[in-house]
Every structure is written in C-alpha cells, then in structure tokens.
Structure 1
Amino acid sequence: MLTSQRKALILDLLRRDGQVIARDLAQSLSLSEDTIRRDLREMASEGLLTRVHGGALPLAPGLPDLTARRGLASDVKDRLGRAAVALVRPGMTIFVDGGTTHAALLRHLPRDMAVTILTHSPTIAADLEHHAASVILIGGTLYRHSMVAVGAQAAAQIALLSPDIFFLGVTAIHATRGLSTGDFEEAAIKRQIAGRAGETITLVTPEKLDATSPHVIMPTAQLSTLVVPAETGEDRLLPYRQAGIKIIAAD
C-alpha cells in the first residue's frame, strides 16, 4: 500500500471511529508500527490530525474569536440553549461559562426567575442586564479569545463558591480523551469550577463531538449531562451513555 493510500485510510478511520490506534492499524495492514507512527507524525505536521500517545485523534476545528463566533450555528445553539435552560430552577445558584452557546441559553432564561448566576465572563454578565437574577462577576486576568477571567485572582474567588450547576463550555469532547479546550489557563479555571459544582453540564455543537483540543479539562465520566442536537446519531452518543452521562436531545 502506498503512503498516500495509508494516509487516506487513516483519515477514513478517524472519521468513522474517532481515533486510530497505531498498533492495531499496523497489525491489520501487516506493517511495522514504526511505519504507521511515521505516517501519523507527518499527518500531524500537515495539520490533518492530532497525535496522542499510541495513535491519533481527529482535529478539533480552530475557533475564531468571540465576535466572529456569534453568527456560527446560531440555530443549533439556540436549540441547545432552550433545552438546557429547562434544567434551571428558581433559587438555584448556577455558574455560566463564557461563549456564544451560553449566551443563547440566557436568552431563554425567564427574565423574572429568581436565581443567582456566577460567571467569569463580562459578556455573559452584560447579557443579564434586564434579568431579575442576582449576578456575581468573577474577576481576574482577561483571556480575550473567550472573554473570560483566568489566573490566580479568579481561582481564589472560585474556591469560595459552590454552584448547583456549572454550564461548562468546551471546544472538544471525546469519550476516552475527555473534555478539552485550546488554552492551558482557561482549562485550569474550568476544571476548578467543575470541581466546586454539584453537577456539570455541557452543550455541544456537532463539530465538537468526538474531537480533542490541546488542554484537557477533565475526564468525560465526570460530566453529569451532555446536551446535543436531536439529530445526533445514536452511534456517536453510545460511548457517552456508557460512561454514565445523561444525554438531552435538543429539538
């Protein structure tokens, strides 16, 4: 088999299975594991996949900045937000991560609902201007790509909180590789919030599912609930169900 044919096969396997195990692929093709690993290294350098120990994972798509993201998949985000907001009850304390999907969630939050909303995102706080909710804004060093506070000051404030729900934003989720994002400091803050929350819920658009980003937030099994578009195939959702995660389909 030619190198180009092997690489095409690897991309097909990533699309189908969400991962490639170098040892297994080498055995199935009767090739040395070194040959497959060389292919994976070359493909990673070409920006075609993400190398991990023992194999490879699909690339999580790079995200544009927050302003550019506002118009992306707006209908899907609206459906996700509407489904997720049904989990919020009066009297709850919820932590809302930054991002345009959570902005969609807040658009469906009843304006007169008596809840306490914690956030480290100034843009999320601004979206609550006309709500009755009590809003607590966490400060720190501003990570402009996501418009959220990170760093030691944010961490010190978060350590004093115990929200009922954390609506966690991710750039990728993979059944075995966990929930991840593109920035080390942001991943650390998200991980800390999840550790303080009663339950963690994430809303994902289709391109984030079965993908991976450079910095792991937490293992997938630590997630309480996954909200996905209703058209998401059951074959893609089965590994998450097997991990004990509740799945909500957003119509």
Structure 2
Amino acid sequence: MLTSQRKKAILKTLGRDGQVLAKELSETFGVSEDTVRRDLRELAGEGLLQRVHGGALPASTAVAPFAERRALESTAKRAIAAAAAAMIETGQVVIIDGGTTSAELIRQIPHDLSATVVTHSPSVAVGLVDHPLIEVIVIGGRLFKHSIVTVGAAAIEAMSHIQADIYFMGVTGVHPSAGLSTGNFEEAFVKRALAARAAETVVLASSDKINAASQYVIGGITLAQTIIVERETELALTKPLEDAGITIVRA
C-alpha cells in the first residue's frame, strides 16, 4: 500500500472511530509501528489529526486567529451563547473566558442584569461597558494576541483571589479520554486556574470541538460540570460525556 493510501485509510478510520492506535494500524497495513508513527507525524504536521500516546485523535479545527473565527458567526454559536447567558443569575460572580462564543455570550446578557463579571479578555470587558448594572473586573497580564486574552504569572496570581459562582470556559477540544484542551500552553494553565476558582465550570462547545483534541491539556473531562453543545450534536458524541457525569445542555 502506498503512503498516500495509508494516510487516507488512517483518516477514514479516525473519522469513523474517533481515534486510531499505532499498533492496530501497523497490523492492519502490515507495516512497522515506526512507519505508522511517521504517517501520523506527517498528518499531524498538516493539522489533520492530533497525536497522543499510542496513536492519534481528531484534531480540533477551532484554531484560526480571533478575527477569522469572529467572522464565522453561526446560528448554533448564538444558541450556545444564549443558553449560557440564561444560566447567569442576579448577584452572581461570573468568570467569562475569551473567544468568539464568549463574545456572543455577552451580547446575550440582559441589560438589566446585576452581576459581577471577571474576565481576562479585554474584548469581553469592553463589550460590557453598556451594561450599567454589571461590575467588570479585568485580570491583567501579558496579552496573548491570538485569542486576545491575558496570560502569565500575573494573571494566575490575580485569579487566586476570586471565588466565582460560574466559569464559562472556551476550549478547542472536548474529548472523553483526552479531556479539555487548547492550542496554547499558557492558555491551558490560565483556564485551569480559572476553573479552580469557580463553583461550576461550563464549557461552550460548538460541533467542531466535540471529540477533538489540541496540543495542550487544560484538564480531564470532569473538570467541567456542564457542557453546552449544539442541539443537533450526535448522541454518540455526547453519551461518553454524560457517562462521565457531565450535564449536557443542548442549545
């Protein structure tokens, strides 16, 4: 079998099963595991999968720069944001992550809602200027321009003084075994630190993030108590998450 044929077969299996194992692939193709690992490395280099120990998972496609992702507004994203906004109650302290779904979330917050929003996203903070009853606390640090959020030691130190009711987390990957992941090392630390400061973590997950993985792990799947998904998300994708004890909200 030619290399190109093996790669197509690998991607087909990955799309069908949600994961591939190097040992099983080597047996299927009758080649060495080293050969399979080389195929996986090359496919990962093209952004077509995410390598993990022993094999590979689907790669998240939610990795474009913020401006490009913001331009790709969708009905599904607005529905997820509306479901998240409906969870916020009067008087709560709410942490809102950066990202395009979070940008939509703040548009869905009623103007008469009285609450405190903590964010490390300058875009989220500015977007709440016209909400007269929302107090905004901005966490400072080094600006990570790809996602327009602050990261680093200063940001994590500031978070340690917060006790929030709910944290709306943005991710690029949600996978039952690989957990919650993102495409930047420092962002992963910041998101984990924010989750530790909230009574409940709610992940906002459009369909391109479900059953996918990125390079940097935020935490295990049970770091989230609730995941909001698109209404049409396949039951086969959400059942392993529910089996892990996570509440799935379909928006």
Query: Match for residue 79 of structure 1?
Result: 79
Q: Deviations over 1:85-120 (max 9, x none)?
A: 121111111100011211211111111111111111
Distance 1:47 1:145, change over 3 A: closer
Amino acid at match of 1:77: K
Query: Match for residue 16 of structure 2?
Result: 16
- Alignment partners' CA distance in 2, 1:234 and 1:62: 21
Query: Match for residue 243 of structure 1?
Result: 244
Query: Match for residue 123 of structure 2?
Result: 123
Query: Match for residue 89 of structure 1?
Result: 89
Query: Match for residue 48 of structure 1?
Result: 48
- Alignment partners' CA distance in 2, 1:68 and 1:206: 17
The CA deviation at 1:185 is 1.1
Distance 1:110 1:45, change over 3 A: closer
- Alignment partners' CA distance in 2, 1:45 and 1:82: 36
- Alignment partners' CA distance in 1, 2:46 and 2:141: 36
- Alignment partners' CA distance in 2, 1:223 and 1:21: 27
Amino acid at match of 1:234: L
Amino acid at match of 1:37: R
Identity of aligned residues (%): 48
SS at match of 2:5: helix
Point out the more displaced range, 206-215 or 46-55.
Answer: 46-55
The CA deviation at 1:30 is 5.1
After the TM superposition, which residues 85-234 of structure 1 pair with which residues of structure 2 at under 5 Å, given as runs? Answer: 85-131=85-131, 132-234=133-235
The CA deviation at 1:62 is 5.5
- Alignment partners' CA distance in 1, 2:141 and 2:221: 27
- Alignment partners' CA distance in 1, 2:111 and 2:212: 35
SS at match of 1:164: strand
Asked if residue 68 in structure 1 is aligned to residue 63 in structure 2, the reply is: no
- Alignment partners' CA distance in 1, 2:38 and 2:66: 36
SS at match of 2:196: helix
Q: Give the number of aligned pairs.
A: 250
Amino acid at match of 1:150: V
- Alignment partners' CA distance in 2, 1:79 and 1:29: 44
Listed as ranges, the gaps of 5+ residues in structure 1 are none
TM-score, normalization by structure 1: 0.93
Contact 2:96 2:169 in 1 (8 A): yes
Q: Deviations over 1:40-70 (max 9, x none)?
A: 2333344432222100122222533222222
The CA deviation at 1:31 is 4.7
